[in-house]
Every structure is written in C-alpha cells, then in structure tokens.
Amino acid sequence: METIKSKQDFEKVFRGGKRLNHRLVRLTVMESEQEGRSRVAFVCAKRLGNAVCRNRCKRVLRAAAQRVGFPLDGYEVILFSTPATRAASSTEVAAALAKLVERI
C-alpha cells in the first residue's frame, strides 16, 4: 500500500478532492494524475487525544482500509479519523468505508 507522504501531494488531494463523510470516518478522494497510481494517507488530528489514541485510530483505519481493498485503483485517498473512530473496531470502520466507496 503506497502512502501519500509529501505535503504538496497531500494538499493537492485535500484541495481538489471530493469529500465524503460518515460518523466513523471522513474520506477525501481524487483521481490520480498518473495512470495506475494509487495512494492513501491516514490522518488523525491532535485534538482527538494523546499519541497512543491517535496511533490506535490510524491502526484501525489501516486495518479497515485493507479489508475494503484500499488503495482504490487510479485514486488518491485521504482517510480522516473522527471522535467516533476512537471507540470503533476495524470491522465497523471497514463497513463505513465500504458505504463511502459505493458513493465514489
């Protein structure tokens, strides 16, 4: 799974992408400029808790993304955790991601 690492690439997806929301996860998606390139980023804001909490949220997002089949072919995706992500299991988040993927 290739990740979005540079600040420029992250901001490009964040500004130009389509936003989809669910109670457990927020998603920003944009078609990749390079054919066949698929990348994903996992984000957890500091306001959600300490480092332990944020790392757990990102682990849950990663596990859910793998269950759903991320990264999506030809798309760059940013996954944001929400306050509800802290108490959710990866199975619940995967179900939420599946619903959001249907809407893309």
The CATH code belonging to domain 7-103 is 3.30.230.10
Whose tokens are 């957890």? That residue is: 44
Burial of 84 per CB tally in 10 Å (0-12, 13-18, 19+): middle
Cβ atoms of 93 and 64 closer than 8 Å: yes
How does residue 13 score in pLDDT terms, banded at 50, 70 and 90? very high
Q: Are 60 and 49 in contact (CB under 8 A)?
A: no
Q: pLDDT value at position 33?
A: 83
Could you read off the pLDDT of 22-68 as tens digits, one per residue? 999 999 999 988 887 889 999 999 999 999 999 999 999 999 999 99
Question: What's the confidence (pLDDT) of residue 36?
Answer: 77
Identify the pLDDT of residue 72: 81
